[in-house]
Amino acid sequence: MELDEEDLQLINALQIGPRLPWTQLGEVLDRHPTSLAARWDRLTSAGAAWINAHPLGDPQQMTLSFHDVQCDPARRQEVSAALARLPDVFSIEECHRNRDMMLTVITPTTTWLADSVYPQLDRIPGLIRYQSSFCTKLHFGAADWQLGALSSGQVRKLRELSAPPEQYHGPLPASYPDIIRQLARNGRATAAEIAEATGLHQATARRQLQRILNSRTMAFRCEVAQGLAGYPIVCEWTGRLPAGEHDDAARVLAGLGGLRLCASTTGDTNFMFMMWLRGPADIMAAERSIGELIPRLDLVESVVIARIPKRVGWMLNPDGTASGEVVVPGEAW
């Protein structure tokens, strides 16, 4: 399918306010709420766009780590399939460089990573080696990236409508794991849908859902099949930069457009970022701009991602559309 302008506007609006009611979205987009809901159903049915939710990968709250994986070339797909079944492995990116895959892992603690995730990786046949780095600061995430299909006035209004309420710091409900698994499958799940799926009374589901949303322990984002959105190239860079310059560098990168991830990390390099690009020529253009704007950034490696079989728990088809299969957060949560 092809995404028309109204599709892009709706996706952009949901990038800003993933759980805004159709009535409010309709006011901003000047469309009937029922029409917007029907359009969204069409997009999700085709796997062109979807809204996911996942435990927040902020290193101040949880452990966000990245892992370079080498595997037996003859067992690449077998290894990828085994990794995809692991709930703590939220994303898998396949490439063809010194590593075969790059994993994004979110765990409550480093202890869980060491005691649970690493042993599971060790047991995967065909997985030869993995090397880990830890995110020490997440400067920019995929939820910050937008299509740019809306006017500045529409963006401003949507941000006002989606401004979060006062953060809840109390204990999370015992139903937290069940509710976040439903949200992982559908980031716009209503209290009624959660009640039906979990067996909670609807009023209880509504109250506990709101408590979880207000705790800000979950990140919501509207995803889009990158090829359909006009960004078929995904490139990741790693480099070295004095620690005191990371924040400024992240702001510069965000201004270039296409930035999907920017993080300070441990390891041989201490700065990484990923961009969605419209063509191979944009890689050189981006590196030229980066060299001029961030001269002290020593780029060590650039990697073009060949395929993304799993993105934040959602299994993707080879063309980048959602398959409909979701690996929900596991027992760690």
Q: How far apart are CA 73 and CA 16, in angstroms?
A: 40
Q: How far apart are CA 112 and CA 101, in angstroms?
A: 22
Q: Indicate the pairing of strand 63-71 with strand 49-55.
A: unpaired
pTM of the model: 0.93
| DSSP-assigned letters across all residues of 88-128 | TEEEEEE-SSSSSEEEEEEES-HHHIIIIIHHHHHTSTTEE
In tens digits, the chain (333 residues) has pLDDT values of 899 999 999 999 999 999 999 999 999 999 999 999 999 999 999 999 999 998 775 556 689 999 999 999 999 999 999 999 999 999 999 998 889 999 999 998 999 999 999 999 999 999 999 999 999 999 999 989 999 999 999 999 999 999 988 998 889 899 999 999 999 999 999 999 999 999 999 999 999 999 999 998 888 999 999 999 999 999 999 999 999 999 999 999 999 999 999 999 999 999 999 999 999 999 999 999 999 999 999 999 999 999 999 999 999 999 999 999 999 988 887
Q: How far apart are CA 226 and CA 80, in angstroms?
A: 20
What pLDDT is recorded for position 62?
Answer: 84
What pLDDT is recorded for position 7?
Answer: 98
What pLDDT is recorded for position 97?
Answer: 80
H-run or E-run covering 80: helix 76-84
Domains of the chain plus CATH, in order, are 63-144+226-326 (3.30.70.3460)
What pLDDT is recorded for position 169?
Answer: 87
Q: Which two tokens stand for residue 150?
A: 């809306």
